[in-house]
Amino acid sequence: MPRSPTRKRTPKAATAPNVALPLAAPEDPAPAPPPPEAPARNTVRRLRAPRAKRFVALAGNIGAGKTTAAKIISQTFGFELFDEPVIDNRFLKDYYANMGRWSFTLQLEFLIRRVEHHELIHSVKKSCVQDRTLYEDPEIFAKYLHGLGHMTNAELDLYFEYFQRLTRTIVHPDKVIYFDVPTVDVLLGRIRQRGREEEKGIEKGFLRGLNGYYATFPMVLQNKYGVDCLVMDVTNQDIRTGRGREEFLDRVTTFLA
C-alpha cells in the first residue's frame, strides 16, 4: 500500500524567557520656549492708537509746554508735526515791544499762517499734531488784546470777519489737549528758561490776563466749535522724561482711542 504523505510539523515558537526588561528612561521634556518679551510701551501705544487719520492740536498759555508735548506725541505715535509759526514771524518782537501798534497786524499774521497749516494738514495722509490751536487766536488773544485797548472795536470786528471767511472750508481738529497752568510764576519761569529773544518782554500781568480767558476755553471749544477737549494741569508735571512723560502719554493714548 502506498504510504500516506507525512505532514511536516511546524516547529513551536521558542518561548521567550520571562525576564522583565528594564523600562526605557523617559526622554527629558523639551524646554519650554521663553516667554515673549513685553513690547515697549511706545509700541503698545502705537498699536492702541487709532488707524484712521487723526488731527490733534495742543492748546495752552505761553510757556505751558505745548511745543514739548507736540514733539513727544509726534515721536511716539508717528504723527506729522506742525510747529507754531513763531520763529519766522516777522512781527513778534515788535509786538511785544509795542502791543498797541502791532496787535491787529500780528493776529492777522497768525491767522493766515494757521489757516495755511490747516490746509496742509488736510492734504497730509497721516495723522497730524499741531502746536497751538486756531481757536486760541480769536477766543483768547484777540479778545484779550481788545480788552486791554490794544485793538479797537473796528479792528476786532474786522479780525472776526477774516476769521469766519478764512475758516469756512478748513479741516478742524478731532481732539484738543489743553495744558492748564494756573500759576503765572511757573509760566514765566519756563519762558525765561527757554530764553526766546522775542519773549523777553512778557510780564506776569499779561500771562495772568490770558489765564483768565483760558479758564473757559475748554467749554468754548466743546460748545461753540464741537471739539472734544482733554484738560491737563501740568503745573507740577515735567513731561519731558521719566514718570511725568509716561503719565502724559498714557492719558493721551486713552484720549485718542
What the block records as the C-alpha cell of 44 is 503698545
Strands (E), 61-213: 80-82, 128-131, 175-180
How far apart are alpha carbons 136 and 225 in whole angstroms?
Answer: 12
Task: Name the CA dihedral angle for 219, 211, 154, 224, rounded to a multiple of 10 degrees.
Answer: -10
Phi (first) and psi of residue 81, to 5 degrees: -95, 130
Helices then strands, each counted (H, E), the chain: 11, 5
**Has 131 been annotated as catalytic?**
yes
From the list 28, 94, 131, 174, the catalytic residue is: 131
Closest to 215 (Cα-Cα) out of 43, 61, 106: 61
Task: Name the CA dihedral angle for 234, 235, 238, 242, rounded to a multiple of 10 degrees.
Answer: -70
- Active-site positions read 131
